Structure 1
């Protein structure tokens, strides 16, 4: 699956996140923000374009209806951040802690999550198109009634993930691990699984598999 990478200039000037409060519109463009923290900020319809966040801690932030285009988060802490109803396009999250992040009702396109801690994250009612979760921990994540198109889970921990009312046709979870997940049997049609996972799903159906 090909994912478009963020389109970011090679050389970006450093900036301070709090500069955004001195502008008429909550918007940051073409800059790098590093080695800092954003504490208890609440904004709606904030926009970031061609921005790199590196080693930034976002603590108790609420950015509903956020718009992210061509953005990279590297070694950041976004735990419990509220990005509900966000529009997230050509964005990469790398080596970041994102426990409990709320991406419900969000629209994600060409997004990479790589080596991220995403336990208890929420995506309910969201739309995910060309999204890759690569070597991520997604324990107890919630994908209730999502729309998936070209979504990949590569070598992830998806134990106790909720896929209820989310069709998994064409979704490959064969390289990922779980002991138990929540999924409607009719939504498993066309899902790509490993032989071991197929046995687990057969057990969920009440079948006895002979060796």
Structure 2
């Protein structure tokens, strides 16, 4: 199903799936293998710990209140996947592909999504301070009601990307072209960016103090 302009297509994963109980408790002696497929299943509440693999496939999968500890899954593919109330802090998903994926009420401090491709992805009410989206290629992506202070979007590519009611203080957007991106409902004191990158960005008048330093302007309180 193709996404209409401005509309994000959600995962086709049904909410009721057969539970995959391999990781219902912390398991250190089981290893994910390169190119291992996980299809049409639900990971039950528990912990996935000490896993490192390349090109793992997750297709039509729900992660239900799963905590990830010391997990690196580079070049993984996530298709029709839901992360619900998960802890993904410091997880490494570099070079991954995410298509029709939802992160709902997730903790993702320092989550590494650098150089990923994101298509039809939603982050709903997530805590993502220090998350890394460096060089990510995003199209039809929404960040809603989340905390992304000090997140790193260095040279990310934005195409129909939405930021709604997010905390973005000290988020880094250097090299990320913000033309057409609406930040007016977000809160921040300062942003890391450049005048060139901010061309065409939508902001409230009172937010301009957060980028005044780019003009060499020093603001004084009354």
Residues 178/144 of structure 1: CA separation in 2 closer, same or farther (3 Å cut) = same
For residues 117-136 of structure 1, the aligned pairs below 5 Å read 117-136=127-146
How far off its partner does 1:11 sit?
3.4
Structure 1 CA distance for aligned equivalents of residues 108 and 82 of structure 2: 14
Q: Is 2:191–2:211's contact at 8 Å kept on the other side of the alignment?
A: no
Tell me which moved more, 108-117 or 5-14. Answer: 5-14
TM-score (norm. length: structure 1): 0.93
Q: What's the offset of the Cα at 1:200?
A: 3.6
CA shift digits 1:141-188 (9 cap, x unpaired): 101111100111100000010000111000011100001111011111
Aligned residue pairs total 211
The ranges of structure 1 where at least 4 consecutive aligned residues each deviate by more than 2 angstroms after the TM superposition are: 20-25, 198-204, 206-211
Q: Is the alpha carbon distance of 1:162 and 1:23 closer, same or farther for their aligned partners in structure 2, counting shifts above 3 Å?
A: closer
Normalization by structure 2: what TM-score?
A: 0.88
Listed one character per residue, the Cα deviations across residues 24-82 of structure 1 (whole Å, up to 9, x for unaligned) are 95111111112111011001101101111011011010000010000000010000000
Corresponding position: 1:28 with 2:38: yes
Is the 8 Å Cα contact of residues 87 and 107 (structure 1) preserved in structure 2? yes
Of residues 46, 54, 72, the one that matches 1:62 is 72
Secondary structure of the 2:187 match is: coil
User: What's 1:195 paired with?
Assistant: 205
The structure-2 alpha-carbon separation of the partners of 1:205 and 1:41, relative to structure 1 and needing over 3 Å to count, comes to same
> Is 1:164 the counterpart of 2:164 in the alignment?
no
Write the distance in 1 (CA, Å) between the matches of 2:63 and 2:141.
Answer: 20
Between 3-12 and 37-46, the greater mean CA deviation after superposition: 3-12
CA RMSD, aligned part only?
2.3
Structure 2: where are the runs of 5+ without partners?
1-5, 24-29
Q: Distance in 2 between matches of 1:188 and 1:151?
A: 14
Summarize the Cα distance change of 1:55–1:11 in structure 2 as closer, same or farther, 3 Å threshold.
closer
After superposition, where does 1:61-210 map in structure 2 within 5 Å?
61-202=71-212, 204-207=214-217
- Cα deviation for residue 199 of structure 1 reads 4.3
Q: 1: CA distance between counterparts of 2:89 and 2:81? A: 18
